[in-house]
Structure 1
């Protein structure tokens, strides 16, 4: 199916910017750096640019979304950054939510560069770019320290990345830092810092073209705002406009049939426009454009379909499955819910749900399992709940929500409970520990399930029982542009740099394939955004950029170059 890229451009209808200048004043000036986007990567790029040189460059951020949708997908996250560290000695100086009397009650294992690289390689099946990965991992700790200096309020992630075990807070999964108020707090902290350093932000401003000279170097952007077009001249342009996750047609084309039905987890404005613009200049695409090549997660089936909720943001995530079960509409399990810690499975289990009949599943717990569910995801005000005093009753109630085979649903749970009991009989001293892979499983010499639950296999026997209907929420696509990691410059097919064009955030390809380690997306946006901003601020050219390059027509869609 051919896709008309120009048709996906959002036409601007208003203007808002940090300096309150009239639109003509903003667009007719020459800027040192123009950044496309207003999410975490864009804001980090801007902050890096204005603090890298003296005098500071003049930086303009443009985004086609209205101001009330500022922040890109970062706004909808938990605000968690994955970083290497040596334990509390590195983290305590960063965070503001740990008092002195708490310090000796916290266990945070060291998360080394080697650990981070191993996780990145492991969850992507060895396909992640080693070169990009080394930059990401090595600079992750310096990044969060640098961001703290500009007002990012780091917290230890007690709510989502720790469990209380024997009176201690035990952290797990290599993801320990978050921001106060999650993605909302992150975007506010970064936006405040960018504005304090003199950057200008123009919303409702669609970039319709990258301006290039006769040799293909970029010297600005064409934008449309309030129904008028302007050519903004700049020494450097940084693309931080996200992938095509909010474009159902392109999702279907590249991720596969059924992906047009996924719920858009974040901003509805990431439709692939800037990928098309860069490709028109000969930019090379890399990464995972294959079926399922995206970050997707277990998502509330009652959530909005085509966009996130600006108030509830990440609360539609439903990540309590490791301590329960997931059954499809036919009443069968379809993943090993306990195969790994949640941080290494949630970005691929969303895809698994979409592959099931009707693209739905039911998460199930008994009363003991429900005690481990986090309020921000499962409180009564945030998610419709199906409750019952027996599994049979629960199955009948789930029929009203799309379950097709209630008898198979009951049988699946009965078989699971029998396998859990057999394992417990062989290992009577085994104890639940949700902070580690505890080995509580469904497998034993007496009984083993064809599809194991490898850890945290709690029996589902104690009423009242609970089920929650989930679907797939897509966060971002993995395929993107090839960059030189040293300066985040966008590369052509032959490996040369497109002069004046840089890229950061979700538009960078080559890091993630099929899955990703939780929290590494924001970190990658920060690491390469920081490099992009620094490079853009220090670029100086001698030749004037006055001749517009005659470009070929935009491609019909994003190609898959590997």
Structure 2
């Protein structure tokens, strides 16, 4: 039972800035606030310290950014020895390309001003993370490149990751926060915003079963979406979403969004959309595993095919690079019977799969000598017994369609690092790239489900200040800012991989800067 502490009108402590959320975006906001002049910054999170880092901890640390190609990125990374550099191919990634990737995946619905802010601030934010936070950036050889003809060929417009992935990213933030003198309270849920005459002046928190008010000139919300709440997933995303596996933190249950609504903040974005991915069906249902972390991802499907429990393909596995399809295809898996699917590879494709995701001890592997043998072995894993013949026919027809194409196009060369145009002919549902016949024994299957990362619906913010906008006036609420996965209007339906961490850094820096400006006004 909670014991009432000092009410919202009486402060127990005063800070220049309070940040709610210990993830990547919140940490960026806190560090930016200090950088711009705040001397007392408090970061709070309802999770215990053992769950520090929000969803950022569970990522691969990928950051999508504008860059000028290999020579430009070499200024940022620490894993490109001089003897390897001549064998690396990375094309420049322009602001127009970044913008177009976001807009085409959202069907043109993303807020253009928010997108512009992310794209234009991306490279500077990467440099800031390296310089100020101490993040160790690396070229993502293991996730974003294939060795083709002796060359490391990067693909999909993204090349940067962080050393030790999300774990390394959050570790760098924790060191930087301690160095900057940011005070951190864990096990401290934020219950409501302190608001007087339309101005946010702090937050009511729960500490040791007591409620107390903590006042500040500015509050930055970085508390994530509602993806960890099965009830809210079903309410906003629809039936079946209560069965999705939570990819990251179990503590993102929509609290921050509720607090914003209570003070008149406006909602924005795709409330029926989310970031999802192909996820190991044996992963925990309601939270990520902090040891295995992102290794539950199963992103190798462009090299093979995906079949549902009725033995039928349901997506074009080669429609685009994995960066641009996985968020949509995770959702497609959830729509299949039982919310399950099988990724199928032959021996040739299996050689190209990432060991971090498909290595022994990481995923349960089901092997078959041929299609019929594999189908029978998949029945205990969910393949409907009456559809074994359908499964065999699906693989047979797929192989026939690939051979037909290759016979007519013998000059085509399979290239996993480029959209090679090697496709199927004659199938109602094509595979548009990387479509080789699966004929090298043995056949491999892994069982996948839908893993949800974060939700797209969120809070309306001013792109220039990251200030939370009011419902009635569409003007910022004084003293209240927002960053990270709480920002609504950036993503609709689909998502270019690596954009989330970049957006969190961009808006986190802006929010921290504006919080510091607000604190100066209150001196």
Q: TM-score range by the shorter chain?
A: over 0.9
Equivalent residues in 2 for 1:517-536, closer than 5 Å = 517-536=496-515
Whether 2:393 is the aligned partner of 1:414: answer no
Alpha-carbon separation, structure 2, partners of 1:388 and 1:353: 23
Alpha-carbon separation, structure 2, partners of 1:485 and 1:191: 27
Q: Which residue of 2 aligns with 1:330?
A: 310
Whether 2:25 is the aligned partner of 1:45: answer no
1:541 positional shift? 7.2
Question: Contact 1:11/1:225 (CA < 8 Å) preserved in 2?
Answer: no
Q: Which residue of 1 aligns with 2:481?
A: 502
Question: Contact 1:266/1:307 (CA < 8 Å) preserved in 2?
Answer: yes
Question: Contact 2:191/2:203 (CA < 8 Å) preserved in 1?
Answer: yes
Alpha-carbon separation, structure 1, partners of 2:39 and 2:312: 58
1:27-67: per-residue Cα shift (whole Å, max 9, x none)? 832100000000000000111111112xx421000000000
Whether 2:176 is the aligned partner of 1:197: answer no
Equivalent residues in 2 for 1:139-218, closer than 5 Å = 139-150=121-132, 151-213=134-196, 215-218=197-200
CA RMSD of aligned residues (A): 1.4
Question: Contact 2:307/2:314 (CA < 8 Å) preserved in 1?
Answer: yes
TM-score norm. by structure 2 comes to 0.96
Whether 2:523 is the aligned partner of 1:539: answer no
1:349-388: per-residue Cα shift (whole Å, max 9, x none)? 0000000111000000010010110000001111111111
Alpha-carbon separation, structure 2, partners of 1:326 and 1:136: 33
Q: Which residue of 1 aligns with 2:373?
A: 393
Query: In the alignment, which of 349, 352, 372 is matched to residue 369 of structure 1?
Result: 349
1:540 positional shift? 4.0
Equivalent residues in 2 for 1:289-308, closer than 5 Å = 289-290=271-272, 293-308=273-288
Runs of 4+ with deviation above 2 angstroms: 540-544
Whether 2:12 is the aligned partner of 1:28: answer yes
Gaps of 5+ in 1: 1-9, 13-26, 545-562
Q: Which residue of 1 aligns with 2:6?
A: none
Alpha-carbon separation, structure 1, partners of 2:418 and 2:110: 25
1:428-462: per-residue Cα shift (whole Å, max 9, x none)? 1111111111000002xxxx100000000021111
How has the CA–CA distance of structure 1 residues 113 and 543 changed in structure 2, closer, same or farther, with 3 Å as cutoff?
Answer: closer
Query: In the alignment, which of 447, 454, 458 is matched to residue 476 of structure 1?
Result: 454
Alpha-carbon separation, structure 2, partners of 1:369 and 1:541: 59
Alpha-carbon separation, structure 2, partners of 1:303 and 1:529: 31
Query: In the alignment, which of 512, 522, 528 is matched to residue 491 of structure 2?
Result: 512
Q: Which residue of 1 aligns with 2:7?
A: none
Alpha-carbon separation, structure 1, partners of 2:308 and 2:2: 41
Q: Which residue of 2 aligns with 1:461?
A: 439
Q: Which residue of 2 aligns with 1:263?
A: 245
SS of aligned partner of 2:121: helix
Q: Which residue of 2 aligns with 1:21?
A: none
1:11 positional shift? 8.5
Q: Which residue of 2 aligns with 1:485?
A: 463
Question: Contact 1:11/1:206 (CA < 8 Å) preserved in 2?
Answer: no
Q: Which residue of 1 aligns with 2:64?
A: 82
1:290-328: per-residue Cα shift (whole Å, max 9, x none)? 2xx000000000000000000010000000000000000
Alpha-carbon separation, structure 2, partners of 1:121 and 1:438: 24
TM-score norm. by structure 1 comes to 0.90
Alpha-carbon separation, structure 1, partners of 2:212 and 2:107: 45
Whether 2:47 is the aligned partner of 1:69: answer no
Q: Which residue of 1 aligns with 2:335?
A: 355
- How many residue pairs end up in the alignment? 512
1:543 positional shift? 7.6
SS of aligned partner of 1:131: helix
1:89 positional shift? 2.3
Q: Which residue of 1 aligns with 2:424?
A: 442
1:380-415: per-residue Cα shift (whole Å, max 9, x none)? 111111111111110001011010111100000000
1:152 positional shift? 0.4
1:195 positional shift? 1.1
1:538 positional shift? 1.5
Question: Contact 1:57/1:537 (CA < 8 Å) preserved in 2?
Answer: no
Gaps of 5+ in 2: 4-10
Alpha-carbon separation, structure 2, partners of 1:432 and 1:52: 51
